[in-house]
Amino acid sequence: MPSRDKSPEDASMADATAIPTSGQKEPVIGMSEENVGGLEEDGLDASGEAAAAAEEEEIEPQRVRILPGSSETAASFEFLDEGHTLGNALRYIIMKNPDVEFCAYSIPHPSEAKMNIRIQTYDTTTATEALEKGLQDLEDLCDVVSEKFWEARNEFNATKDTAMQE
Amino acid sequence: MAPSSGRRSAPTKEQLEDRKTVGINKETVTNTVSTDFPDHFPDEDHAWDVDHFRDNFSIQFHQNDQFDSQFSLIGIDASIANAFRRILIAEIPTLAIETVFVHNNTSVIQDEVLAHRLGLIPFQGDKKGLRDFIKPFVKPAEGADQYSTTFDYNTVCLKLNVECTHNKDAAPNEKDPQKLYHNAHVYAKDIIFDPVGDKQPEIFSGEGIIKSTNPDILIAKLRPPQVINVEMHMHKGYGSDHSKFSPVATASYRLMPIIKILQPILGAEAKKFQECFMPGVIELEKVTKEEASKKGSGYEGRQGEPKAVVANPMHDTVSREVLRHEEFEGKVKLGRRRDHFIFSIESTGQWDSDELFIESVLMLKLKINKLKPQVENMVRSF
């Protein structure tokens, strides 16, 4: 039976797969020194902070812009790398603002990662302010949901546990 | 009636109930769109208010197993519930096999098919390690070394090395390949974690070792002298990139069904009515003496007969079977509660199902917090 063992090239590739480990490369050395004590907890936190710092160094590209033809009270905003997830949620919460006359979102083309939000307001506010308020309101909503979810979960688990003990 | 004085009376309880009910009729649906917006109803506010939301929003748990939970979100809009569902499926990162290095594969399964199968196997390991220590993998810049961004904090190595051989101890007339040969079946449990660096062996040890969640997933079937010898690299990724990275097997919701019996359904009809729904949805009760003696109730003289009662509408599928029978026409109304979402989350093993929902809420919050400075920094010229 012909062997399908592809020796020469594959063997060299296999060598290349070895991950540079703590002893060999810069970024990891720093982490392993912090971890000399060998405590898992500390090591995890330290590496988490290191990565968070590394992420902050990267400047986030501007992903929101106002589309041409907009005015103070009637503007279209373009969001890059956002979709229905944020679009529809934000549309709902902006529509709940009494100073907003009209709000809608669309994804102009399915193969472009772009989401547009149209906001028209009354004179009492501006489109940009309505967008900022929408983001804030949505964040407040998230806080309430996670708070209530955890309460309900703990309560359910507690009653389940007592039921099992009985 | 006098011309409108500009002030309408507040909506009654029934009106509020009707507003929240999506009608499901024989051929049509009615009242499908949310109306809780300012200016929709005269003299009603409906503006966003956190305290109002907090007072009206509630969560009920129905089931909470480690990898399978069911709960209701009550008093929330579809657009928000859907955002959580979409985040659960596509935006929570998990670890999955991304690269397969085939040293040898003489099985009947082609390399690329084997690699695809391996990629889809769910794995689990120390939760804190997977969440905090392992970081998303960043592809190396063009022209740079293929492994220049591969480190112990973003890659997990696995090995699978099995060879099928004859079992010398098998009975002479043995037919079962599993007894006749060693390693006739290759399972997910044959994949071995190969820790790299100083920290991986510490973090992913004991209970927290990286292993397949479902050890009995069949990867391949072998016969002597076939061999599979592969090395694998796991990376952290997102479900939006490939569904193998999705932390959930299913994450879905449905609206709470409503079944309203408008006129008494009694006797043999009640039994037939019960059979139009899922088991447990409709129960049969006996007509009591008081009901039978009450004039105009529809129960007169029917004491002791069975009557149909809605017991547990949650389990119904709203199949509309009941609307196909003439005898029930006008006696029942089907619907769904627009703001009552029965969520069902089934985890693939890297997260607990209840943690997943919390994580989806946090992810939406994170998304918002990333966008806030973006909106502030936006060039404000049109």
Model confidence at B263: pLDDT above 60: yes
Average pLDDT over residues B184-189: 96
CB contact under 8 A, A89 and B199: no
pLDDT in tens, B337-382: 999 999 999 999 999 999 999 999 999 999 999 999 999 988 776 6
Query: Residue A47 burial by CB count (10 A; 0-12/13-18/19+): exposed, middle or buried?
Result: buried
Residue range B15-29: mean pLDDT, rounded: 94
- Measured between beta carbons, the chain A residues lying within 8 angstroms of B57 are 144-145, 148
Q: Which residue of A has its CA nearest to B58?
A: A148
Q: What one-character-per-residue DSSP string does B296-336 give?
A: TSS-TT-TT-EEEEE--GGG-----GGGG-GGGTTTEEEEE
* pLDDT at residue B250, as a whole number: 94
State the pLDDT at residue A153: 95
Q: How far is B112 from chain A (nearest CA, A)?
A: 14
Average pLDDT, integer, range A65-70: 94
Q: Do A44 and B203 touch (CB under 8 A)?
A: yes
A131 touches chain B (CB under 8 A): yes
- pLDDT of amino acid A160: 86
pLDDT at A75 over 90: yes
Task: Assign A15 a pLDDT band (cuts: 50, 70, 90).
Answer: very low
Neighbours of B336 (CB within 10 A): 20
> Does the pLDDT of residue A130 top 80, yes or no?
yes
Taking contacts as CB-CB distances below 8 angstroms, the residues of chain B near A131 are: 375
What average pLDDT does range B85-111 have in this prediction? 96
To which H or E segment does residue A101 belong? strand A100-106
pLDDT for B325 beyond 60: yes
Taking residues A39-54, what's their average pLDDT?
A: 44
Which ipTM value was assigned to this complex?
Answer: 0.88
Distance between first and last Cα of chain A: 65
Looking at the complex, report in whole angstroms how far the Cα of residue B278 sits from the nearest Cα belonging to chain A.
26
Average pLDDT, chain A: 76
* B188 contacts B216 by C-beta, under 8 angstroms: yes
Chain-chain contact of A66 with B197 (C-beta, under 8 angstroms): no
Identity of the residue in A19, A65, A71 whose CB atom sits nearest the CB atom of B378: A65
pLDDT one-digit tens code per residue, B35-82 = 999 999 998 989 999 999 999 999 999 999 999 999 999 999 999 999
Instruction: State the average pLDDT over residues B172-194.
Output: 95
Contact B152 A22 (CB under 8 A): yes
User: Tokens 């939406």 correspond to what residue?
Assistant: B364
Q: Among A7-16, A59-68, A74-83, B196-205, name the most confident range.
A: A74-83
Q: Could you report the per-residue pLDDT of B282-310, keeping only the tens digit for each?
A: 999 999 888 888 888 888 888 889 999 99
The band of B7, judged by pLDDT with boundaries at 50, 70 and 90, is low
